[in-house]
Structure 1
């Protein structure tokens, strides 16, 4: 461990959350050790503005709750205290100890057959907590009492060398918590760093362990991966290390060829998402998830039409439900997003049926804009009739009411001209006072 004094590091109280400082001061005044730790310290060293502030302390979750009325305890695998100041949440964790019980630590730990920690409420000392951190640059602890940083794993050197190093044996640490593999590639993309070779080898080897992670937890991790503003770089890392197929097994086979329409479409959607996030615009996971599963739905739908002789609409509806259900087994998607996804998908067929009042009805639909944006991106990638359809809707939105009527009229005439004209029935030779034949 090395101790950095205030003149040797860039962390200053005015760079920190006032609420985080309140938490630290109250814990210290109550006789507990307390430090800011992890990403907020790392980000300041990198010249970034920290967003989240995590505290590590010698106080147990119950003791923390006794000091803060605005505190709630969460977590099963490892209990955490969330201290809420309006929208800001300061996460406070008790120092972790080694898994094996000893007189120096207390609590319970449990591992499954793969070495994954399923319960981890083992408390220990500051030094033991540092050994339990995942990456070296996350084992730096800042004390407001003396303005020093305790760097237990030479994290400052890792930042300077731009390398991601895991603390301890990579295989053991990834088996304890496979999500650490996702964190490694996320940090590599976010911080523009390289993953050290022993760590990289184990990620490629142990990616299958992600299948043991609960789908609900993976949903939160995917949000961090693809909605950080560096989603495209992260996507490339996920492909490189074989982790994308563990998250989206139905999509992965379709994006193996970089120039395929499927891969280009997903890349463009992710790039657009990055741009919106970095420009402070609103994004929704529903749109990106709809893009990630669109081509598996289209492929499965075509298969059903060919093998089961179903109508295109029936095949599409069955494919939508089946593909979505399979994905939910790997990564949970809340209903508030999956409902929007279904609407975006169904609109892709409906947008081609734009005659008469249908065009106005679709234009007024709350999900029209998302569906149109989806169609527009598909048209840019696939071209042809799809591009022309998207271009028509682009113009239809921009023109006034009279021009819209003209566009619909031209569309109706064009559709009528493209059909084979019906043969006129020859008129019957009518005879006066004749009665229709009763014969069949």
Structure 2
């Protein structure tokens, strides 16, 4: 299950006289018999030595620089034990009293690095040449229990890096993990802090949640911990209202179907879930006849108006009454009227991108839910339309 490009990187470093391990989430996923989203390597070589070992490699990052290796059409991120050791010299002194018993020099290097990671299940090292797993934080035990636990108290961990809140939710959603009690409390207490994250980082984390086959559980967890109303306030208000009146949720049905089509090894492009949000937002604000919606989707799928209309007329039906999205169902609409209404709806879908990319338009859309709070945060780039 280890990718061929990862093996090439590991072998080149190993033959160069360096120790090289798989580390973090890929080890966790392999142990759970899941295909990892990506593979991260850590080595005893320094960054310059790593870069010199490969034809196409570049050092990126300021605070925690890594070497990004381009190989066989893939990108493998390779970090150095030296980087964390230099960055956390003072922390290393403070941790010296906590060194595990019977810890040799190699153990000490791995242990110090593991102590800087976010969750216990992400702190595992795997040596593919000896088939040894190194676990200094009871990560294996938590993995067997399917439990998410931070290495330090959760409030401290999330205050150090609030993006860990989103990462924790994403991992829990994909792997069906339970939370330790201190993580639950910390997530509730510190949820507002994610609004201060860089917009690129927010986009990255949300894309990981929605594009890799676990969108529905991710949305549910974001809603549970009051994070959806920060990231996607319109959608959070919609879900809140639909639950209160016990209506079927078209939005969740859309993402449920997306989850059946994508996975970690076959993720969706971010433009797909952004397009789905645009499509749904347009329907909530401008309910449409079911035949119009069927035709719009069918023409997109077939790439041909005639085939799309024929398919829609043959298969269109209203099994579930989606409110407020669907206004009714007309079987007698002429092709001319249908074309006009589909074109109008397509324009509405396209225009709805502004509510996802411009704060003023988001606030205008939120007038539909006057009693629901709105963060005013937008992090989706206009170029994704």
State if a TM-score over 0.5 links the two structures.
Answer: yes
1:269-308 alignment, distance < 5 Å: 269-277=254-262, 283-292=268-277
Q: Which deviations, in whole Å up to 9, do the C-alpha atoms of 1:174-213 show, x marking residues without a partner?
A: 1222111111111111111101110111011111111111
Aligned partner (choices 78, 99, 108) of residue 92 of structure 1:
78
Contact preservation (8 Å) 1:80, 1:93: yes
1:20 and 2:2 matched: no
Greater Cα radius of gyration, structure 1 or 2:
1
The residue aligned with 2:208 is 224
Aligned partner (choices 53, 56, 61) of residue 75 of structure 1:
61
The residue aligned with 2:122 is 138
Contact preservation (8 Å) 2:187, 2:225: yes
For residues 54 and 265 of structure 2, the distance between their equivalents in structure 1, rounded to whole angstroms, comes to 33
1:46 and 2:32 matched: yes
SS at structure 2 position matched to 1:152: coil
Q: Which deviations, in whole Å up to 9, do the C-alpha atoms of 1:126-162 show, x marking residues without a partner?
A: 2221001111111111123432111111111001111
Shift in alpha-carbon separation, 1:178–1:409, aligned structure 2, 3 A: closer
Shift of 1:380: 4.8
Shift in alpha-carbon separation, 1:30–1:288, aligned structure 2, 3 A: closer
For residues 377 and 175 of structure 1, the distance between their equivalents in structure 2, rounded to whole angstroms, comes to 48
For residues 286 and 26 of structure 1, the distance between their equivalents in structure 2, rounded to whole angstroms, comes to 36
The residue aligned with 2:20 is 34
The residue aligned with 2:252 is 267
1:174 and 2:158 matched: yes
Shift in alpha-carbon separation, 1:377–1:211, aligned structure 2, 3 A: farther
Shift of 1:29: 3.2
1:392-431 alignment, distance < 5 Å: 407-408=334-335
Aligned partner (choices 186, 195, 198) of residue 202 of structure 1:
186
SS at structure 1 position matched to 2:118: coil
For residues 264 and 60 of structure 2, the distance between their equivalents in structure 1, rounded to whole angstroms, comes to 33
Q: What 5-or-longer segments of structure 2 have no aligned partner?
A: 94-107, 340-385
For residues 172 and 131 of structure 1, the distance between their equivalents in structure 2, rounded to whole angstroms, comes to 13
The residue aligned with 1:325 is none
Higher relative contact order (CA 8 A, sep 6+): 2
For residues 135 and 168 of structure 1, the distance between their equivalents in structure 2, rounded to whole angstroms, comes to 9
For residues 170 and 56 of structure 2, the distance between their equivalents in structure 1, rounded to whole angstroms, comes to 31
For residues 24 and 36 of structure 1, the distance between their equivalents in structure 2, rounded to whole angstroms, comes to 8
SS at structure 1 position matched to 2:85: coil
1:103-118 alignment, distance < 5 Å: none
For residues 265 and 85 of structure 2, the distance between their equivalents in structure 1, rounded to whole angstroms, comes to 40
Shift in alpha-carbon separation, 1:260–1:220, aligned structure 2, 3 A: farther
Shift of 1:34: 1.8
The count of aligned residue pairs is: 310
Shift of 1:270: 0.8
For residues 166 and 103 of structure 1, the distance between their equivalents in structure 2, rounded to whole angstroms, comes to 17
Contact preservation (8 Å) 2:212, 2:264: no
SS at structure 1 position matched to 2:137: coil
For residues 186 and 173 of structure 1, the distance between their equivalents in structure 2, rounded to whole angstroms, comes to 16
SS at structure 2 position matched to 1:253: helix
1:184 and 2:168 matched: yes
Contact preservation (8 Å) 1:254, 1:263: no
Shift in alpha-carbon separation, 1:181–1:392, aligned structure 2, 3 A: farther
Root-mean-square deviation over aligned CA pairs: 4.1
The residue aligned with 1:128 is 112
Contact preservation (8 Å) 2:35, 2:265: no
Q: Which deviations, in whole Å up to 9, do the C-alpha atoms of 1:225-276 show, x marking residues without a partner?
A: 0112121111111111111112113432232132559971211111121122
For residues 200 and 88 of structure 1, the distance between their equivalents in structure 2, rounded to whole angstroms, comes to 36
